[in-house]
């Protein structure tokens, strides 16, 4: 199979002696760093840790659902397991995944800057994330939470006997981590671009993160105040969500989903940014309709604020609200679809090769499309009444989040692995892992669409026996999926020592990050670049190679 | 956001509040206006205006807030980006309040 | 491949003389100041949305329980509320003057402006504390000690002042009003306290001659924060205190 990988001669190639990893030594130089690249790696390690915790919880869920009875664990315990799975995966993995790791690492380099606008706030952001994560773990170990990750009232405020307050405060803290990351990105992209780096020469990765950052800054505070109100209600009984005191539980849901719907776009937009970069590189073609994709990212962010009540169609909102939110939900699907079409047209007549990042990107395109289309069924209020609170919803969001976002994350990690570490991952086994992941994913989650349509409710430990076959399929798929996720852990760590030396630009990609050494210098650039070439300008890249002077930093 | 190459960062160089120092006279005038509007809003609350009471109260508050944002916080003298930023915040706030309220106000509408 | 693939006309920027307080990733002080200011504004946006949730809740329940909200609002001391509004507006004025003094390198002016702002801020909290105490005495603090009896059976003076008795179920909703009252003014007061702490630190530094070398970003951005807290109160005051005082 053809490949575009172009590595330096392995006999003589060396990792550059001076880079951001070797620049300073000692644990404090990492824990007190302002270097966005080091912070990105710190994040990468932490979110991987939480990913495996969330994954273990998922494993427990699937094990329980092998049989119709609630026999592996009591129903209360099962409630805690799926709640913690959701909380950990959403707030401690998906929300920070691409932005805090790849975004932090790459955005300054992609725009030609030496660091983010506020390096200390960047570091603070990581510590807040750790604090939130530690509190969440504490809540988990000391009894867990059983309200579902959505903390729906009045369960969370009155009837649950679990660690709602601890978890609520944990997420409050983790939310500020997200806010500060978003704030940093917005200011950086506006103010720190190198000369010549105009808005329409920015890689689409930056546009995607810009859009996601707007959501982080404007949406997360509403979650913060909502959690504060839940904590106040639980502690002193203020009654703002309590029907017996005149409160409205639906108000909680309005405030909660006002954040949590944009949150799903916070999660997916950075992934879409990765896909734009990967598809362009492995089709050797400029992204089709760059401007449309850029504006679609912002449109998703803006429209994403207008649709939150589609999570509440059956909860008691007015019919008028159902109508309006359903209509707006149809609108928000359009920019996402535009992106899918544009990526497809990028592939058309491109020179496609199938390295691992591209395999994950293909997986993304297919699975996100399915997930997104099923979202349209759910946005239509009539069908939603039948499908909501069933496994259809579970399948829908796992298709977009796991089939979409997680695949994009893995795609990005593999794509920029050589840049971040200076080493290539082993290609064959990684392609195998990507395929195993894809197969495992479909076996796990496709049956769940069917289960949902047949009426199996979500968040139930026990179910009618006629649903067992599909559940067994799903659990079997989950075990395959687990293998697919374990493999990268193993070979990526292996590659740190034994991987081939990557050189500056193993993918022959465009973008400022590929014009500097791998791993980069702490200051990224020895001299601030002046950008003359267009974005995704492969012809420029060809001309560059002709006057190439190799030197190692 | 221009394409031209300059000796410094493309994004720098817009007139910010550092370049324009607002005179204390302006601050005093705004302060006076704020005191006036405070007195006005207190007075208005004692006048029976039916459904217009809250409207007047909010309107006066909006005027006061606008004066603080424009002059005390220098937005009048700031770049378009800063003005847009403030606008985006206000807009999102209005979406939160407005669209949530639209659910509550329409709950009693019809039975369709 | 070389690190920089094009002529770098800004190479000199790195080696220019720059003030000690310019961070290394910035090309110029102008860029640094604009960036920090922009960052502060974005933070204020998060604060708008943070309070937004509370305002949403307030507007909904005021619509649902209007009689209870009116009656409960009448128990707030309008003199203290108006005084507090005046205090905060004045403190915004003195803070703006402080920024002007820093911009024009007036050391004494800056120190006095900050002292005035600090005193006014503390004054606000003092008046608030008195109000909260009154609420405590009247059993208006939500929770186990809350009592709506005074609304079901108003006292002699209240009846003379025009208050009417409210049905018990609507009277119970005054707890919702007070929950929001304490949540909103409490959150506001918390922001005031944080501001006062920062202001104190800034005052000490100004006293010792700081902020006279043109590096005044902290003063300017603190000013933005202080004005924002003032704006929150500008909305809280009419919504909480001035619900139809004509009744």
Indicate the number of domains in chain B. 2
Instruction: Report the alpha-carbon distance of residue A188 to residue A198 in Å, rounded.
Output: 13
**Is the same domain home to B59 and B92?**
no
Does residue B27 sit in the same domain as residue B69?
A: yes
| DSSP secondary structure letters along A138-176 | HHHHTT---STTTT-TTIIIII--SSHHHHHHHHHHHHH
What is chain B written as a DSSP string? --S---SS-TT--S--TTTSPPPHHHHHHHHHHHHHHHHHHHHHHTS--TTHHHHHHHHHHHHHHHHIIIIIT-GGGS-HHHHHHHHHHHHHHHHHHHHHHHHHHTTTS---
Share of chain A above pLDDT 90, in %: 92
Neighbours of A550 (CB within 10 A): 10
3-state class (DSSP) for residue A501: strand
Residues B46 and B101 in one domain: no
Verify that B11 and B52 share a domain, yes or no.
yes
Q: Which two tokens stand for residue A69?
A: 């009875």
Q: For residue C231, list chain B residues with Cβ-Cβ distance below 8 A.
A: 65, 68-69
As a dihedral over the C-alpha atoms of residue A300, residue A301, residue A305, residue A306, rounded to 10 degrees, the angle is: -30
> What was the pLDDT predicted at B50?
84
Q: Do B103 and A321 touch (CB under 8 A)?
A: yes
3-class secondary structure, A196: coil
Structural domain boundaries enclosing B105: 79-112
**C42 interface with A at CB cutoff 8 Å:** yes
Domains, in order of start, for chain C = 54-241 (1.20.120.80)
Among B46, A229, A225, which residue's Cα sits nearest to residue C238? B46
Question: HEC string of A1-70?
Answer: CCCCCCCCCCCCCCCCCCCCCCCCCCHHHHHCCCCHHHHHHHHHHHHHHHHHHHHHHHHHHHHHCCCCCC
Calculate the alpha carbon distances from C218 to A245, A546, C45, C224 in Å: 45, 50, 18, 10
* CA C76/CA C134 separation, integer angstroms: 9
Is C82 within 8 Å of B42 when comparing Cβ atoms?
A: yes
Cβ of C57 within 8 Å of Cβ of A221? The answer is no
A447 part of a folded domain: yes
Q: How far is residue A522's CA from residue A529's CA, in Å, rounded to a whole number?
A: 16
Same domain, B96 and B49: no
Q: Which residue has the tokens 């939150």?
A: A308
The ipTM of this complex is 0.93
Q: How confident is the model at residue B51 (pLDDT cuts 50, 70, 90)?
A: confident
**HSE-CB of B109 using CA atoms within 13 angstroms:** 13
Confidence category of residue A499, pLDDT binned at 50, 70, 90? very high
For residue A548, the model assigns a pLDDT of 63
Q: Give the distance, in angstroms, between the CA of residue C57 and the centroid of all CA atoms in the same chain.
A: 19
C20: how many CB neighbours lie within 10 A of its CB? 6
Residues 6+ apart with CB under 8 A from C237: B38, B41, B61, C81, C82, C84, C85
Residues from chain A contacting residue B11 (CB–CB below 8 Å)? 190-193
Which residues are CB-contacts of C233 (< 8 A; sequence separation ≥ 6)?
Answer: C84, C85, C88, C188
DSSP track, A354-396: --HHHHHHHHHHHHHHHHHHHHHHHHSHHHHHHHTTBHHHHHH
Could you tell me which residues are beta bridge partners of residue A457?
A390
Is A115's Cβ below 8 Å from some Cβ in C?
yes
Tell me whether residues A318 and B106 touch, CB distance under 8 A.
yes
A512 dihedral zone (left: phi>0; alpha: psi -120 to 50; beta): alpha
Same domain, B12 and B42: yes
Whether residue A317 and residue B9 make contact (CB cut-off 8 A), yes or no, is no
* B71 and B91 together in one domain: no
Q: Do C45 and A192 touch (CB under 8 A)?
A: no
For the cut 50, the answer to whether the pLDDT of residue B10 exceeds it is: no
Q: Assign residue A425 a region: left if phi > 0, alpha if psi is -120 to 50, beta otherwise?
A: beta
Restricting to A residues 53-112, those with a Cβ less than 8 Å away from any Cβ of C are: 108
**pLDDT band, residue A365 (cuts 50/70/90):** very high
Q: Give Cα B54 to chain centroid, integer Å.
A: 18
Put simply, the chain B residues between 83 and 102 with a CB less than 8 A from any chain A CB are 88-89, 92, 95-96, 99-100, 102
**Cβ(A552)–Cβ(A16) under 8 Å?**
yes
The two tokens of residue A537 are: 């300008």
Q: Is A391 on the interface with B (CB under 8 A)?
A: no
C70 to each of A164, C51, C73, C197, how far by Cα in Å? 34, 22, 5, 35
Q: Which structural domain range is residue A283 located in?
A: 27-546
The verdict on B24 and B63 lying in the same domain is yes
**pLDDT tens column, A512-549:** 999 999 999 999 999 989 998 888 988 888 888 787 65
Distance CA A349, CA A328 (A): 35
Q: How far apart are CA A220 and CA A212, in angstroms?
A: 11
* Residues B68, B55: Cα–Cα separation, whole Å: 20
Cβ contacts of C52 on chain B, cutoff 8 Å: 92-93, 96-97
A10, part of any domain: no
- Measured between CA atoms, the residue of chain C closest to residue A250 is C57
Average pLDDT estimate for A319-348: 95
Name the phi and psi angles at A542, rounded to 5: -60, -45
Structure tokens at B17: 């509040």
Whether residue B2 is found in the same domain as residue B54: yes
From CA A459, how far away is CA C218, in angstroms rounded?
Answer: 50
A155 touching B (Cβ < 8 Å): no
Nearest to C5 by CA among A513, A273, A175, A345: A513
pLDDT tens digit sequence for A143-196: 999 999 999 999 999 999 999 999 999 999 999 999 999 999 999 999 999 999
Report the SS3 class of residue A346: helix
Low-confidence ranges of chain C (pLDDT < 50): 1-14
Structure tokens at A297: 């990212």
User: What residues pair up with A390 in beta bridges, in sequence order?
Assistant: A457
Q: Look at B110 and B105; give whichever has higher pLDDT.
A: B105
Å between B112 CA and nearest CA of chain C: 22
Contacting partners of chain B (3+ CB pairs under 8 A): A, C
B110–A contact, CB cutoff 8 A: yes
pLDDT at C16: 53
B8: nearest CB among C27, C64, C103: C27
Which residues of chain A are within 8 Å of residue B102 when distances are taken between CB atoms? 320-321, 324
pLDDT tier at A551 (50, 70, 90 boundaries)? very low
Contact across the interface for B28 and C93, Cβ inside 8 Å: yes
Residue A211 reports pLDDT greater than 80: yes
Looking at residue A245, the DSSP 8-state letter turns out to be G
Which domain CATH number covers A70? 1.20.210.10
**Per-residue pLDDT at C158:** 83
């Amino acid at each position: 199979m053809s490949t575009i990988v172009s590595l330096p001669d392995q006999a003589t190639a060396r990792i550059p002696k001076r880079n951001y990893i070797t620049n300073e030594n000692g644990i404090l130089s990492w824990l007190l760093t302002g270097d966005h690249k080091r912070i990105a790696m710190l994040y990468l390690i932490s979110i991987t840790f939480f990913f495996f915790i969330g994954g273990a919880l998922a494993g427990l869920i699937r094990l329980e659902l092998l049989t119709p009875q609630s026999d592996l664990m009591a129903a209360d315990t099962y409630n805690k397991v799926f709640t913690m799975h959701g909380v950990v995966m959403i707030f401690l993995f998906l929300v920070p995944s691409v932005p805090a790791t790849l975004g932090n690492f790459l955005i300054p380099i992609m725009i030609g800057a030496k660091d983010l606008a506020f390096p200390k706030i960047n570091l603070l952001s990581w510590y807040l994330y750790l604090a939130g994560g530690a509190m969440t773990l504490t809540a988990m170990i000391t009894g867990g939470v059983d309200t579902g990750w959505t903390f729906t009232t009045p369960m969370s405020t009155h009837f649950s006997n679990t660690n709602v307050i601890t978890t609520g405060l944990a997420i409050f803290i983790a939310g500020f981590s997200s806010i500060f990351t978003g704030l940093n990105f917005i200011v950086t992209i506006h103010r720190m671009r190198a000369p010549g780096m105009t808005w329409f020469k920015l890689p689409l990765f930056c546009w995607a993160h810009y859009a996601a950052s707007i959501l982080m800054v404007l949406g997360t505070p509403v979650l913060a105040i909502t959690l504060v109100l839940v904590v106040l209600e639980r502690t002193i009984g203020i009654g703002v969500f309590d029907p017996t005191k005149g409160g409205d539980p639906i108000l909680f849901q309005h405030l909660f989903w006002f954040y949590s719907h944009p949150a799903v776009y916070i999660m997916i937009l950075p992934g879409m940014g990765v896909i734009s970069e990967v598809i362009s590189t492995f089709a050797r073609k400029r992204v089709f309709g760059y401007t449309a994709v850029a504006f679609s990212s912002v449109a998703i962010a803006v429209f994403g604020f207008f649709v939150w009540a589609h999570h509440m169609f059956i909860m008691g909102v007015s019919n008028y609200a159902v109508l309006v939110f359903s209509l707006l939900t149809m609108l928000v699907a359009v920019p996402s679809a535009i992106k899918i079409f544009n990526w497809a047209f990028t592939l058309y007549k491109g020179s496609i090769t199938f390295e691992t990042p591209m395999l994950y990107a293909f997986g993304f395109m297919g699975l996100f499309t399915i997930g997104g289309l099923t979202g349209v069924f759910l946005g239509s209020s009539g069908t939603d009444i039948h499908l909501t609170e069933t496994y259809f919803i579970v399948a829908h969001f796992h298709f977009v989040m796991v089939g979409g976002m997680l695949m994009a994350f893995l795609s990005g990690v593999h794509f920029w692995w050589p840049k971040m570490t200076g080493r290539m991952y082993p290609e064959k086994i990684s392609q195998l892992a990507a395929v195993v992941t894809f197969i495992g994913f479909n076996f796990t989650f496709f049956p769940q669409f069917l289960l949902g349509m047949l009426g199996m409710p979500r968040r139930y430990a026990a179910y009618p026996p006629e649903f067992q076959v599909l559940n067994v399929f799903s659990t079997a798929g989950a075990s395959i999926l687990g293998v697919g996720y374990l493999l990268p852990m193993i070979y990526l760590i292996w590659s740190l020592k034994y991987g081939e030396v990557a050189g500056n630009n193993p993918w022959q990609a465009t973008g400022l990050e590929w014009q500097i050494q791998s791993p980069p210098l702490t200051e990224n650039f020895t001299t601030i670049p002046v950008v003359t070439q267009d974005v995704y300008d492969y012809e420029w890249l060809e001309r560059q190679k002709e006057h190439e002077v190799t030197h190692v930093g | 956001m221009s394409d031209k190459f300059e000796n410094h960062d493309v994004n720098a160089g817009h007139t910010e509040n550092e370049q324009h120092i607002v005179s204390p006279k302006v601050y005093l005038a705004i302060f006076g206006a704020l005191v006036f509007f405070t007195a006005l809003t207190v007075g208005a609350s004692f006048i029976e205006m039916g459904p217009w009471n809250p409207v007047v109260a909010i309107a006066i508050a909006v005027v006061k807030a606008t004066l603080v944002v424009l002059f005390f916080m220098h937005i009048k003298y700031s770049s378009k980006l800063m003005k847009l930023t403030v606008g985006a915040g206000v807009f999102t706030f209005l979406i939160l309040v407005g669209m949530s309220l639209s659910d509550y106000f329409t709950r009693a509408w019809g039975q369709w | 491949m070389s690190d920089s693939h094009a002529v770098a006309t800004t190479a000199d920027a790195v080696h220019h003389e720059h003030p000690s307080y310019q961070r290394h990733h910035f090309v110029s002080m102008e860029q640094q100041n604009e960036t920090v200011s922009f960052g502060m504004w974005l933070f204020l946006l998060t604060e708008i949305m943070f309070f937004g949730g509370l305002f949403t809740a307030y507007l909904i329940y005021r619509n649902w329980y209007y009689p209870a909200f009116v009656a409960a609002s009448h128990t707030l001391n309008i003199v203290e509320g108006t005084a507090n509004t005046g205090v905060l507006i004045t403190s915004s004025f003195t803070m703006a003057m402080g920024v002007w003094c820093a911009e024009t390198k007036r050391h004494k002016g800056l120190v006095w402006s900050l002292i005035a702002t600090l005193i006014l801020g503390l004054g606000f909290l003092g008046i608030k504390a008195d109000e909260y105490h009154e609420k405590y005495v009247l059993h208006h603090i939500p929770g186990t000690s809350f009592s709506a009896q005074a609304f079901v059976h108003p006292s002699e003076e209240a009846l003379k002042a025009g208050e009417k008795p409210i049905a018990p179920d609507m009277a119970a909703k005054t707890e919702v009003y007070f929950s929001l009252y304490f949540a909103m003014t409490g959150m506001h007061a918390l922001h005031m306290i944080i501001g006062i702490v920062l202001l104190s630190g800034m005052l000490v530094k100004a006293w010792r001659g700081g902020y006279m070398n043109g590096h005044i970003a902290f003063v300017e951005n603190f000013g933005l924060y202080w004005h924002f807290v003032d704006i929150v109160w500008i909305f809280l005051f009419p919504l909480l205190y001035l619900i139809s005082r004509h009744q």
